[in-house]
Amino acid sequence: MTKTARIATTALAACAIALAGAAYFALDPATNAIFPRCPFLTLTGLKCPGCGSQRAIHCLLHADIRGAAAYNFLLVASLPAVALLLVGELVRKRRPGFYAAVNNTKFTAGVLLAVTGWWILRNIMGW
């Protein structure tokens, strides 16, 4: 991919993220029908690991961390890990050791274990 194509792709992605952020800021997914419902919840009656994420994002954009955690605690709790992964990607070439530390099998297995545990517990405990 050429440098121009990378810049164009990055700009397009930034615009899409900004547009989605504006939509989630302006419109409440809890009351607005344009946001999709969870197909897993609709089909099974059980919550998936991502259920409540749209409402949690809306709350986070309004600085309501408690409300966001009530909708999807895993999303809020995973923000530091996501930040580490983003930083690791940004410094990938300058700090390959840091990148390797946050992009390894143990980290990935831990994320998989946390998501699976959250999925099971939220349905057993009714979170």
Q: For the chain, what are the domain ranges?
A: 3-125
pLDDT of residue 12: 94
pLDDT of residue 16: 95
pLDDT of residue 54: 96
Mean pLDDT to the nearest integer, 4-28: 93
- Written as six digits, the tokens of 82 are 């996501």
From first CA to last CA, the distance across the chain in angstroms is 45
Q: Is the pTM of this model over 0.85?
A: no
Phi–psi pair at 2, nearest 5 degrees: -75, 165
pLDDT tens digit sequence for 45-98? 999 999 999 999 999 999 999 999 999 999 999 999 999 999 999 999 999 999
Percent of the chain at pLDDT above 70? 100
Residue 6 has pLDDT above 90, yes or no: no
pLDDT of residue 3: 85
Report the alpha-carbon angle 87-28-52, nearest 5: 60
